[in-house]
Amino acid sequence: MSGNVHEGELVRATARAAGVIEYVLRTDEPLKFRPGQFVSVRVGVDSDDNPILRSYSIASSPGGGEIALILKLIAGGPGSGYFAGLKPGDRVRFTGPMGFFCLDLQHTGDVVFGVTGVGITPVLPMITELAARPEKGRIVLYWGNRHAEDLFWLDDFKALQDECKRLEIEIFLSGEAPTWSGRRGRITQAVLTDLSAFDKPVFYLVGNGAMIREVKAALQERGVDRKRQIRNEAFFG
200-226 average pLDDT score: 95
Domain identity same for 87 and 166: no
Q: What is the mean pLDDT of residues 62-90?
A: 92
- In a domain, residue 106? The reply is no
Co-location of 128 and 44 in the same domain: no
Tell me the pLDDT of the chain averaged across its residues.
92
Tens-place pLDDT, residues 155-164: 999 999 999 9
Q: What is the pLDDT of residues 1-10, one digit of tens each?
A: 345 889 999 9
First to last CA, the chain: 27
> Cβ-count burial of 215 within 10 angstroms (0-12 exposed, 13-18 middle, 19+ buried)?
buried
Model pTM? 0.92
**3 state DSSP class of 128:** helix
My answer on whether 12 and 124 are in the same domain is: no
SS3 77: coil
Q: What is the reported pLDDT for 49?
A: 85
Mean pLDDT of 87-104: 95
Q: Are residues 93 and 122 in the same domain?
A: no
> What average pLDDT does this structure show over 183-202?
95
Per the structure, the complete domain to which residue 48 belongs is given by 5-98
Q: Domain boundary at 54, 71, 98, which?
A: 98
Is there a single domain that holds both residue 117 and residue 214?
yes
Residues 6+ apart with CB under 8 A from 134: none
Residues 6+ apart with CB under 8 A from 6: 27, 28, 29, 31, 39, 93, 94, 95, 96
Euclidean distance between CA atoms 84 and 18, whole angstroms = 14
Mean pLDDT of 81-101: 94
Three-state SS for 108? coil
Residue 101's CB: how many other CB atoms inside 10 A?
20
| 120 and 92 housed in the same domain | no
Task: Check whether residue 71 and residue 116 sit in a common domain.
Answer: no
Instruction: Place 180 in a pLDDT band, splitting at 50, 70 and 90.
Output: confident
Quote the number of domains for the chain: 2
Q: Of 162-166, 172-176, 203-207, which range is least confident?
A: 172-176
CA triple 23-37-213, angle to 5 deg: 105
Q: Which of 67, 98, 129 lies at the terminal end of a domain, its last residue? A: 98
Specify whether 116 is located in the same domain as 181.
yes
Cα separation values, 67 from 28, 32, 40, 121, 132, Å: 11, 10, 13, 12, 20
Strand duo 66-72 + 20-27: pairing: antiparallel
What pLDDT sits at residue 236?
55
Structural domain contains residue 103: no
